[in-house]
Structure 1
Amino acid sequence: MFCAGTLHFCYILPFQNPVCSNCWISLTLNFGKVIIYKPKYSTRFGCTMARASSSAALLLLICFFNSNLSYSLSVFMKNSEASQVLRIRKRANQFLEEIRPGDLERECNEEKCSFEEAREIFKSQEKTTEFWFAYGDSNPCKNNICKNGGICNVKHHKYSCSCPPKFGGNQCEIEKSECWYKNGGCSQYCQDTRQGLYVTCSCALGYALSDDGKSCTPSVRFPCGLLKKSLRSYQGRSAEGNQTDASDVALLNETMGQENVSSWNQSFHPAAWAGLNQTVLQGAIEQEILEEQGNFSEWDVPHLPSFNSSDEKGKIVGGSFCRPGSCPWQVLLQTNREYGFCGGSLISSRWVLTAAHCLDTVNPYQVTVGDFDKYKRERDEQKVRVQQYWRHPQYDSSNYNNDIALIQLTSDVAFTTHVLPICLPSPDLATLLMEGKEPGMVSGWGSTHSKGSLSRFLLNVRLPIVSMDTCRQSTEKLITGNMFCAGYAEEAQDSCKGDSGGPFAVPYQGTWYLLGIVSWGEGCAESGKYGAYTRVANYISWIKEVTESATDESGFLHTLQ
């Protein structure tokens, strides 16, 4: 037995009143109830009870000790009994509970509390709301509401969804369209919106956006980059010695007229049309070129820069005829003596894009478009005088960085099936094409073998783009971010001197884009070496600035940012 409040033990003396300090006497019976006795009289020596109640009190104490003898002999309990004593029992609301201080354990854990009760405990609306978000049924993350594999998160009593890369929206319910992924679904130009959930599609010169907001349809007769007929494949040629394709002989018959095509055919290099599908023009053709040019030496004009002094001639190696209409944007830059010295690309009716190094020592006098045979006037051939030209202001002739130039013509070129401008890529589309597997097409009148002269006929070759790491590992020369490399490490297919300024064109969904400009290389088709090209997409702003400042027309680049 103990005294409530002071925890002093009380001793029971036989036939005497209980003696203890001045306190309440508390008896805890084994059936769980509490009986409290308060002495009516007390002195400083002990507790005094009325004589009339002494016998009753003594009897009560004797009964208590008899029934609780086992409890009084030991202060320890068994584990099971202790668990029963310490077990928290849910209790109902009690009398005057509202005036008692709020307690989280009592109010909300032992019982089901309300929002008002929780607010009394936390004393803060923000903390209460945050607690209630997790405590009540209002927590949206209790059952994941995020769609398409999204993860639900709660912060500051608000939820958010962490969405997979291809989805967005409050609950990941929107499938994202972004330009980096499949060009955002656009058939031509793509621009990301600020929200990052949708894209805005636009079209190139001569196209209009369709009702679906994605595809582009021609709005004029001759839109940019759209060939009227598909390019003919040359991969199926015979590898039988020096036998030319019958269709090429027919083409030469049509082109050269009364000239002896059979004798020209016999002058082909023995490797012509062989395993690497090379079209090697030499012998009589080279002699004819030299005779027609007279004393004008091709050393007087610039060629594709080469860091290999052993290779001094220009060429397209491993190429094929670029039949009329197959390279309709190809331009031939000519001197005032009508000697072709570099290539270029028609980007509108009055503008040509070429390499800056082509204009280092020679001023272009005129350009020829729609040409296949340089030494014969053809039906679709057009010659237009040059009005002025611009080299990029940061062009560096020592390493060919920013090797790009613009030429303005005195009059408009007439578009035909054999004369078309090529589309310029947006930066996003250019990145997509760089990472794709589609090879680019390089065309020009460069020489067809390492020791030969320039070609009479327009040739082309397909070359794959190689990674920047591969490109930089193949050379000790500077490869800047304004360049890219293309070609084969082993196969003898390449562009070279004489093809400078020409196009590196890549198709995308039926439209051709000018991805690069023939710039420089170490030799031509050298083993382990690649050709370097100017990255056109890096100069869209400069092209737009020059063309708009020089003319009143600003339409052909209005869709490019």
Structure 2
Amino acid sequence: MVWILGLILSSLLPTEAHQQVFLPKTTARALLSRQKRGNFLLEELRPGNLERECKEETCNLEEIREVFEDTAKAWEFLITYPAFKNACVSSPCWNGGTCHSGVDEYNCTCRTGYSGRNCEIAEDDNCASNPCQNGGWCQNSATQYKCSCEIGYHGQNCELGPVDCSSHGQTCDHFCKVQHGTYNCYCAQGYTLGEDEKSCIPEVPYPCGKVMVASSIDDTDLILRAIDGDQQCKRGEYPWQVLLKNDNGTVCSAVILNKDFVLTSADCVNQLHSFTVIVGEHNLEVDEGSEQIHNVSRIYIHSRYSETTFENDIALLKLETPIEFNNYTIPICLPEADFAEFFLMNSEYGAVSGWKQEQGRIHQPVLLGVPYVPYVEFLKCETLQHFLIVHRMFCAGFEELADPLCYLTRGSPFVTKYRDVWYLTGMSLGAKEYDCRVIPVYTKVSRYINWIKKTMSRSVLGT
């Protein structure tokens, strides 16, 4: 024991070797003044612990990463940790507001024109008046609104529908067609498009559908003329009127389409067999000097004409010699199909002309014209007739005045005026079996425009 005690005491004696082990006083004091860590000795060598890192120490990315040893996982924990979650992660600020996150809360800095905790209040609600039409929905901004339109609609308020001529055709004097997403106006034969690209200006002396003589009656008395039976018209009042006549004196009516073609009913062609075409005719008993007689070079009857159902009762006649136009002989305008359906046949009334006949013979030799013939709704037309009325037909007339209209020559043209130009919209059925005395039925010409044009083109080419 004495020996061991002596060894210890000797180690405490100041020697040169022991003096090198101790630090100078200033250095030793600096060491003693360092901050102690919040945990005990060697804690950095222990595994990471969430309770220690985020409660006993400052909770930040560096400390959290010590626990997960993975940066991505550390971020995932940090933004969901209740005391320190990033409240802006859910993008709570609307309408372009900027989010500022604090401890378990956020603040929004709103754009001009918006207010509220989430910038949800538009100080000027430009959508309040519901300006967007046709199913469009409104998006508000500080100074204006924007409409998002349904497919097919456009314009600031989605007020413009699909580009079609049903809505824009009224701006055109005659016809309208859609090209490259917009509409263009064009004109009937004998007219040219004006500089405004909407009006139609005559370019020939006798353009189609233009009457050159004054009417025999004022428009205000149209109904009276139809009712009192005074239907005789002036010469040239219906200059497109055509008379078809055979050697036995049987007659039908037709209408001038151009200098080479006239249109009539298929039944008339079958009934007359051999006949001549007379234009400029008015009084059958008097030679008035305006008549022109033509022979037919070719007859085109619609391939689906039915004598049983009266469907497709239409025929095209090509003349051997061209018609010469004057004040008493002028072609009718052939409308485009859409123009006829949307505008002409939505008119209040049309006009019909022909010669009165009984039992196949002329009863009144002077051309008759009924200038006020109301269109009849299709459903009503169906109920008035005992045979099937198809959509290639229509009814027109007064029920109580069907009799005088019924006895006009078969194939009589039904015409409708639009902006002072007359267009062909119908042709009286040639069949004699149906009860015309109920109300007259007409072939709807608009359904045959393509057939007429193609047939004329093939005929000119000789096919």
TM range (shorter): 0.5 to 0.7
> Contact between 1:184 and 1:199, CA under 8 Å: does it hold in 2?
no
The 2-side partners of 1:340 and 1:389 are apart by: 18
Question: 1:501 pairs with 391, 405, 411, which one?
Answer: 411
The 2-side partners of 1:545 and 1:385 are apart by: 22
Partner in structure 1 of residue 363 of structure 2: 454
The 2-side partners of 1:107 and 1:175 are apart by: 43
Q: How many residues align?
A: 362
Asked whether 1:549 is paired with 2:458, we answer yes
Letter aligned with residue 316 of structure 2: L
Partner in structure 1 of residue 245 of structure 2: 334
The 2-side partners of 1:456 and 1:202 are apart by: 39
- C-alpha distance after superposition, 1:407-445 (max 9, x if no partner): 110011000011000011111111124553431111111
Partner in structure 2 of residue 324 of structure 1: 235
Partner in structure 2 of residue 217 of structure 1: 201
The 2-side partners of 1:426 and 1:540 are apart by: 7
Asked whether 1:201 is paired with 2:191, we answer no
The 2-side partners of 1:213 and 1:274 are apart by: 38
State percent identity of aligned pairs.
27
The 1-side partners of 2:260 and 2:335 are apart by: 18
Partner in structure 2 of residue 149 of structure 1: 132
> Contact between 2:191 and 2:203, CA under 8 Å: does it hold in 1?
yes
- C-alpha distance after superposition, 1:254-288 (max 9, x if no partner): xxxxxxxxxxxxxxxxxxx9992113xxxxxxxxx
When residues 553 and 116 of structure 1 are mapped into structure 2, their CA distance, relative to the original with a 3 A threshold, is farther
Asked whether 1:181 is paired with 2:92, we answer no
Question: 1:422 pairs with 327, 332, 342, which one?
Answer: 332
Partner in structure 2 of residue 348 of structure 1: 258
Q: RCO higher in 1 or 2 (8 Å CA, sep ≥ 6)?
A: 1
Question: 2:228 pairs with 245, 252, 277, which one?
Answer: 277
Letter aligned with residue 343 of structure 1: S
The 2-side partners of 1:479 and 1:506 are apart by: 21
The 2-side partners of 1:361 and 1:452 are apart by: 13
> Contact between 1:146 and 1:172, CA under 8 Å: does it hold in 2?
no
The 2-side partners of 1:354 and 1:427 are apart by: 18
Tell me by how many angstroms 1:531 deviates: 0.6
> Contact between 2:416 and 2:425, CA under 8 Å: does it hold in 1?
yes
Letter aligned with residue 107 of structure 1: C
- C-alpha distance after superposition, 1:184-239 (max 9, x if no partner): 421111123463xx3221111000111222111111111100112443326778xx
> Contact between 1:351 and 1:406, CA under 8 Å: does it hold in 2?
yes
Question: 2:375 pairs with 465, 476, 492, which one?
Answer: 465
When residues 333 and 144 of structure 1 are mapped into structure 2, their CA distance, relative to the original with a 3 A threshold, is same
Partner in structure 1 of residue 148 of structure 2: 161
- C-alpha distance after superposition, 1:289-340 (max 9, x if no partner): xxxxxxxxxxxxxxxxxxxxxxxxxxxxxxx112111100000001146x35
> Contact between 1:161 and 1:170, CA under 8 Å: does it hold in 2?
no
> Contact between 1:348 and 1:421, CA under 8 Å: does it hold in 2?
yes
The 2-side partners of 1:276 and 1:401 are apart by: 30
Question: 1:385 pairs with 280, 295, 304, which one?
Answer: 295
Letter aligned with residue 325 of structure 1: G
> Contact between 1:471 and 1:485, CA under 8 Å: does it hold in 2?
yes
1:435-446 mapped onto 2 (5 Å cutoff) = 435-446=345-356
SS in 2 for 1:233: coil
Question: 1:530 pairs with 433, 436, 439, which one?
Answer: 439
- C-alpha distance after superposition, 1:49-103 (max 9, x if no partner): xxxxxxxxxxxxxxxxxxxxxxxxxxxxxxxxxxxxxxxxxxxx97769962366
The 2-side partners of 1:384 and 1:478 are apart by: 36
When residues 143 and 94 of structure 1 are mapped into structure 2, their CA distance, relative to the original with a 3 A threshold, is farther
> Which is further off, 177-186 or 371-380?
177-186
Tell me by how many angstroms 1:176 deviates: 7.2
Tell me by how many angstroms 1:446 deviates: 1.9
> Contact between 1:364 and 1:386, CA under 8 Å: does it hold in 2?
no
Question: Please, what is the CA RMSD of the aligned residues?
Answer: 4.2
The 2-side partners of 1:502 and 1:452 are apart by: 15
Partner in structure 2 of residue 100 of structure 1: 75
| Larger proportion of strand | 2
> Contact between 1:389 and 1:405, CA under 8 Å: does it hold in 2?
yes
> Contact between 2:385 and 2:435, CA under 8 Å: does it hold in 1?
no
